[in-house]
């Protein structure tokens, strides 16, 4: 039997990256005590006001078909939110509502790229980025992020990778897995490159509300001169502790949205009205939970840094946002995957190997900060002990 080429392009991009996570779940099911620091799920339940809004919408019969663009109330809430935050006017015609950021990104690359095109993306990157790029037939062109630059994408490094086939500059700030946040000057320099080479800018901004105290968030949407080439994606999964709602959106030029709408309608002809109503309620006011999460995640990153940085050659980078911290374990002489799997089996601590996020993070670990302080402290002690045991006698 014959299969479409997309199945070959994506064949090695599925669950293999989550091997340590799945092994941890298996061990826990067998009765082993595991501190799971692999995935980035909010550490608080979805706020009552979102549950109440969704419940009220269900009770009011908001269970019918929607339109392909999004419910009017949600489009109005998005227009108001982006106008207030970006300091310029937006219209409802600049938005598409879809079930989560992952679906949005699949749509964007399907609408912007095809076989022969290239997408410039930071390395390391979120584990599914390669898949949403490859799905369209485009080629991913990784641009290395360096710890000495704070894992912030540098315009000069991007410029060195641009070719006549380059079509999209894919940004992620705040960045997963590093927690780095691009500064205004960083974005201005990257935007100048995009204009010079006629590149689209796709910006994953799902962690916008989880910047740590004292850190400023900037978006290419802040720059009017980039408005005709920037499409941003986000959702309420992180900011409002509602990952199961699967409610996301993209914002971009009206012409792009009009051209992408038929494609979106072939994927899902309108998302659920009751979830749209809950999302509109979420966006109508500042998040109830994001400030607390950001403060806790920053504190937990500092806990890891204080306990582990310098122990047996470990190096912990302090994030500026998001749900994760990175640990450099190259001094152990092991890959991140080998270290993570051995740590899980020896100490019952599950973390993600850096290799799951690209070759730029080989020999590193990504540690979720979404467990309680006592779990983070216990994990730090276990990692320290394990790392010291790896040092040759």
The H or E element that residue 292 is part of is: helix 290-308
Give the span between the Cα atoms of 88 and 67, in whole angstroms.
Answer: 27
Q: Which is it for strands 118-123 and 166-172: parallel, antiparallel or unpaired?
A: parallel
Side-chain half-sphere exposure of 379, counting CA atoms within 13 A = 30
pTM of the model: 0.95
Which pair of structure tokens corresponds to residue 375?
């779990």
Cis peptide before 149 (omega within 30 of 0): no
Reported as type and span, the H/E element at residue 33 is none
Total residues belonging to the chain: 393
Give, for all 393 residues of the chain, the pLDDT tens digit. 999 998 889 888 767 788 999 999 999 999 999 999 999 899 999 999 999 999 999 999 999 999 889 999 999 999 999 999 998 999 999 999 999 999 999 999 999 999 999 999 999 999 999 999 999 999 999 999 999 999 999 999 999 999 999 999 999 999 999 999 999 999 999 999 999 999 999 999 999 999 999 999 999 999 999 999 999 999 999 999 999 999 999 999 999 999 999 999 998 888 899 999 999 999 999 999 999 999 999 999 999 999 999 999 999 999 999 999 999 999 999 999 999 999 999 999 999 999 999 999 999 999 999 999 999 999 999 999 999 998 665
Interatomic CA distance for residues 272 and 245, integer angstroms: 10
Beta-bridge partner residues of 98: 248
**Domains by residue range for the chain, with CATH:** 5-45+289-390 (3.90.1150.10), 48-283 (3.40.640.10)
Q: Which two tokens stand for residue 11?
A: 């064949």
Contact assessment for residue 218 and residue 182, using Cβ atoms and an 8 Å cutoff: yes
Q: Which helix (H) or strand (E) holds 364?
A: strand 364-368
């Amino acid at each position: 039997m014959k299969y479409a080429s997309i199945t070959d392009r994506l064949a090695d991009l599925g669950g293999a990256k989550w091997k340590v996570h799945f092994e941890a779940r298996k061990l826990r099911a067998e009765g082993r005590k595991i501190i799971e620091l692999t995935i980035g799920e909010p550490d608080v339940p979805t706020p009552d006001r979102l549950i109440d809004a969704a419940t009220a919408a269900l009770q009011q019969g908001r269970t019918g078909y929607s339109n392909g663009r999004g419910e009017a109330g949600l489009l109005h809430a998005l227009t108001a939110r982006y106008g207030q935050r970006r300091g310029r006017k937006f219209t409802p015609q600049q938005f598409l509502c879809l079930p989560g950021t992952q679906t949005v990104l699949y749509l964007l690359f399907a609408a912007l790229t095809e076989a022969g095109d290239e997408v410039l993306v930071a390395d390391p990157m979120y584990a599914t980025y390669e898949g949403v790029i490859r799905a369209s037939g485009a080629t991913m062109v990784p641009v290395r992020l360096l710890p000495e630059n704070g894992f912030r994408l540098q315009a000069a490094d991007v410029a060195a990778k641009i070719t006549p086939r380059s079509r999209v500059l894919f940004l992620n700030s705040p960045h997963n897995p590093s927690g780095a946040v691009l500064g205004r000057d960083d974005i201005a320099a990257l935007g100048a490159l995009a204009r010079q080479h006629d590149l689209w800018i796709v910006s994953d901004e799902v962690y916008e509300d989880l910047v740590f105290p004292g850190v400023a968030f900037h978006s290419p949407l802040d720059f009017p001169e980039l408005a005709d080439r920037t499409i941003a994606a986000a959702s309420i999964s992180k900011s409002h502790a509602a990952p199961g709602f699967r409610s996301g959106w993209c914002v971009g030029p009206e012409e792009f949205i009009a051209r992408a709408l038929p494609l979106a309608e072939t994927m899902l002809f309108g998302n659920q009205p009751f979830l749209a109503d809950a999302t509109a309620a979420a966006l109508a006011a500042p998040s109830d939970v994001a400030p607390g999460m950001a403060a806790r995640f920053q504190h937990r990153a500092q806990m890891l840094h204080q306990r582990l940085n310098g122990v047996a050659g470990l190096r912990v980078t302090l994030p500026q946002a998001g749900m994760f911290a990175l640990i450099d374990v190259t001094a152990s002489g092991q890959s991140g995957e080998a270290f993570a799997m051995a740590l899980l089996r020896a100490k019952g601590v599950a973390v993600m190997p850096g290799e799951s996020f690209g070759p730029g993070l080989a020999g590193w670990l990504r540690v979720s900060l979404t467990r309680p302080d006592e779990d983070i402290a216990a994990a730090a002690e276990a990692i320290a002990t394990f790392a010291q045991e790896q040092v040759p006698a």
